[in-house]
Every structure is written in C-alpha cells, then in structure tokens.
Amino acid sequence: MTDNTQKIIALRNELRMLKGDLESISSGEAGSRFAAGDKGKLQTRIAAIQQIVDDLEATDSQET
C-alpha cells in the first residue's frame, strides 16, 4: 500500500464523517460535531478535502 493510498483512505474516512455531520446539520438532527452556523465552513472543508483526494488519486494512478 502506497503512502498516497493510506492518505486517500484516511481522507475518505474524514469525508464520510464530515458529510454525516453536514447531513445532521441540514436535517436538524442532533449528533453533529459542528454547530448549525458552521455549515458553510463545513462545506468548504469537505470541498477542500475532496480536492486533495482527487489530486492524490490522480497522482497515484499516474505512478502505476
């Protein structure tokens, strides 16, 4: 397993958690690790992490 693969797995796990938090905020459910006012910041963070994952996947596929 390459270093990039390990990073991708960790970041995907983080994305899953953040998307779950975003869904909780959007639906008004309890259980989010973030306040409702953090929705914009959370969306920005999700987008940034997704871009990093995409870049790592592109780099990883070029190396193989």
Digit-coded pLDDT (tens) for 16-43: 999 999 999 988 888 788 888 899 999 9
55 CB-near residues (< 8 Å, 6+ apart): none
Terminal Cα-to-Cα distance of the chain (whole angstroms):
12
pLDDT confidence of residue 19: 95
pLDDT above 70 for 6: yes
Domain residue spans of the chain: 3-63
- pTM, 2 dp: 0.84
Measure the CA–CA gap between 63 and 17, rounded to whole angstroms.
29
| Residues composing the chain | 64
Average pLDDT, the chain: 91
